[in-house]
A = this chain, B = another copy of it.
Amino acid sequence: MLIGEFAKRVGVSTDTIRFYGKVGFFSSSRSENGYRHYTEKDIETADLIASGKSIGFSLREILAFSQEMADGVLDHARAQESLQSKINLIDERIASLKRVRKLAQQQLDYCRAVEAQELSV
């Protein structure tokens, strides 16, 4: 499919798609008139970009990750090491999020308690 349809399907602008292409994502095949072509696999890549971005990875990190997902070319030891370190990073982020969540929850509880006290006085 062409860039307009592709962009609509993945929910971003055509400019953004071209930008991702420059970074190194997608199959980069063109028809004779120069128009970019996108496949279902590119849709999966776009979904991975969305996921990665939503959890705070940079486009370059996501690119490296998606290349490890492709595997086959890379040697297994390297790919496994990289995937494992990515998993460790994710675990750290989850732990961080939980810490901040706890902080927010405590503050929320505190705020409610103060409010209740104010109302009872």
* A interface residues with partner B (beta carbon < 8 Å): 48, 51-52, 54-56, 65, 68-69, 71, 76, 79-80, 83-84, 86-87, 90-91, 93-94, 96-101, 103-105, 107-108, 110-112, 114-115, 118
Q: For the complex, would chain A's binding face be called helix, strand, loop or mixed by DSSP majority?
A: helix
Contact A94 B96 (CB under 8 A): no
Report the nearest B residue to A86, measured CB to CB: B104
Q: Given A54-B96, A55-B96, A96-B55, do A101 and B90 touch, yes or no (CB 8 Å)?
A: yes
Identify A111's interface contact among B48, B79, B97, CB under 8 A: B79
Measured CA separation A96–B87 after assembly (Å): 13
Contact B55 A115 (CB under 8 A): no
